[in-house]
Amino acid sequence: MALQRKIEQKRAEVAILGLGYVGLPLAVEFAKAGFPVAGIEVDRSRVAMLRRGKSYVQDVPSAELEPLIRGRRLLVTGDCGILERADAIIICVPTPLRKTKDPDLSYIMSAVEEISARMGREQLIVLESTTYPGTCDELILPFLERGGGRVGRDFFLAFSPERVDPGNALHSTRNITKIIGGVTARCTALACLLYGQVVERVHPVSSTRVAEMAKLLENTFRSVNIAMVNEMALICKRMGIDVWEVIEAAATKPFGFMPFYPGPGLGGHCLPIDPVYLSWKARVHDFEARLIEVAAEINARMPEHVCGVIIESLNRRGLCLKGAKIMVLGAAYKRNVGDTRESPALEIMRVLARNGARVSYSDPYVRTLELDGRRFVSTRLSPRVLRRQHCAVIITDHSCFDYDSIVRHAALVVDTRNATRAVAKGIRKRKVVTL
């Protein structure tokens, strides 16, 4: 088969639709492996940056990207016409939720429309965007077959879920095992062959549905366990027990326990969204995923709980929220990244500001924010800045924050991540309130 030979010889032209935190690292890996790669991105400002060799994705250093661009091993464009000559097309576009909490697959279907309009020879198409089980079989496959082509013979379709963990220095696109499920056995084999050129290990499964469900299981597992420990934190607070000490003690058990930690709420593209995709699809099959939905509710209420802790802590010091100077430390959804998607910090800032607090924030990874039509600019931390606050709230535990200085100079600290645990206990006890 011509396509198989092209992949084996690294002559297959690879097109990647969407150059975000998933697509760009993948494009770089294929280019480094010697494949001719075209990255397609609709955002013109991103295209301009990439063509200059400048990366906007933390896990892709500009020093690694620039020689690939300069050597024309990675072509960046906004023109989908380039799909006509692609041998392998990988879809890495967003899959958000609508306001009604239904899956929004419009980005995927727009990509599929562009592909379908240009199909005319053997092509391997792989979806990486997180979605619900059945998307490839029920939506994408019928659309691609409209042109008369037959899957497994004229074109090949597979699903391989992205498993990127932004900011993780140990686990990258190259060394994270790729799950691959094709519509047919031949589809799976070709997709495994393609990814096997650029990642250390592939794990084939029997169908696209299994691959689609595996990704949802991974993140639903985390969501449910985080909800459980968040609820445990609420219970412990009512009982006057330190939940962090409880978790530390339980984690000494060498079997049957995996520590999860409470926090101000879930953020990022995956954890707040993927379980909703699964529960939505379950309802389509007349099944109510009660545990998943309750977990989502618990996690969604954590920002409100944090605001309640702030208000209660201020009241105990004879202060009210209205007019209080509140500094949020960390706007990103996780440590040491600049991604604010679904970050609980944003909702906490909104609630505090709407109730009259004088809100500011500090995050070295997030320079500016737009919330409810208002622009916020990150404040550089200093003892003087901290002393001017009525309360400092640790939402994201960036490793660059000086927690000793924060506790020493802020009048009150609400620590949602237990980031100040190493600070002198005497000082911490007087100033710090945890979940």
Pairing of strands 202-204, 178-182: parallel
| Given the residues 270, 307, 320, 400, the one annotated as active site | 270
CB of 61 within 8 A of CB of 92?
Answer: no
Among 344, 349, 306, which residue's Cα sits nearest to residue 326?
349
Among 87, 77, 98, which residue's Cα sits nearest to residue 17?
77
Q: Spell out the CATH class of 2-206.
A: alpha beta
From CA 266, how far away is CA 120, in angstroms rounded?
43
pTM of the model: 0.95
Provide the b/e sequence for 170-198 (b: ≥16 CB within 10 Å): eeebbebebbbbbbbebbbbbbbbbbebb
CA distance readout (Å), 97 to 111, 117, 163, 273, 385:
17, 27, 19, 7, 38
* Geometric angle at alpha carbon 296, from 294 and 299, rounded to 5°: 110
SS3 of the chain: the string is CHHHHHHHCCCCCEEEECCCCCHHHHHHHHHHCCCCEEEECCCHHHHHHHHCCCCCCCCCCHHHHHHHHHCCCEEEECCHHHHHHCCEEEECCCCCECCCCCECCHHHHHHHHHHHCCCCCCEEEEECCCCCCCHHHHHHHHHHHHHCCCECCCEEEEECCCCCCCCCCCCCCCCCCEEEEECCHHHHHHHHHHHHCCCCCEEECCCHHHHHHHHHHHHHHHHHHHHHHHHHHHHHHHHCCCHHHHHHHHCCCCCCCCCCCCCCCCCCCCCCCHHHHHHHHHHHCCCCCHHHHHHHHHHHCHHHHHHHHHHHHHHHCCCCCCCCEEEEECCCCCCCCCCCCCCHHHHHHHHHHHCCCEEEEECCCCCEEEECCEEEECCCCCHHHHHCCCEEEECCCCCCCCHHHHHHHCCCEEECCCCCCCCCHHHHHHHEEEC
CB of 97 within 8 A of CB of 273?
Answer: yes
**270 has catalytic annotation:** yes
Could you tell me which residues come within 8 angstroms of residue 357 by beta carbon, excluding any fewer than 6 positions away?
Answer: 321, 322, 323, 324, 325, 326
Q: Where in the chain is the domain with CATH 3.40.50.720?
A: 2-206, 224-434
* Residue 252 structure tokens: 């000494």
From CA 214, how far away is CA 208, in angstroms rounded?
10
- Would you tell me how many other CB atoms lie within 10 Å of the CB of residue 321? 19
Q: What is the pLDDT of residue 79?
A: 96
Could you tell me which residues come within 8 angstroms of residue 52 by beta carbon, excluding any fewer than 6 positions away?
Answer: 69
Q: What is the pLDDT of residue 1?
A: 73
CB of 108 within 8 A of CB of 125?
Answer: no
From CA 293, how far away is CA 343, in angstroms rounded?
19
One digit per residue, the tens of pLDDT, for the chain of length 435 reads: 799 999 999 999 999 999 999 999 999 999 999 999 999 999 999 999 999 999 999 999 999 999 999 999 999 999 999 999 999 999 999 999 998 888 999 999 999 999 999 997 799 999 999 999 999 999 999 999 998 899 999 999 999 999 999 989 899 999 999 999 999 999 999 999 999 999 999 999 999 999 999 999 999 999 999 999 999 999 999 999 999 999 999 999 999 999 999 999 999 989 999 999 999 999 999 999 999 999 999 999 999 999 999 999 999 999 999 999 999 999 999 999 999 999 999 999 999 999 999 999 999 999 999 999 999 999 999 999 999 999 999 999 999 999 999 999 999 999 999 999 999 888 898 999 999
Which CATH code fits 224-434? 3.40.50.720
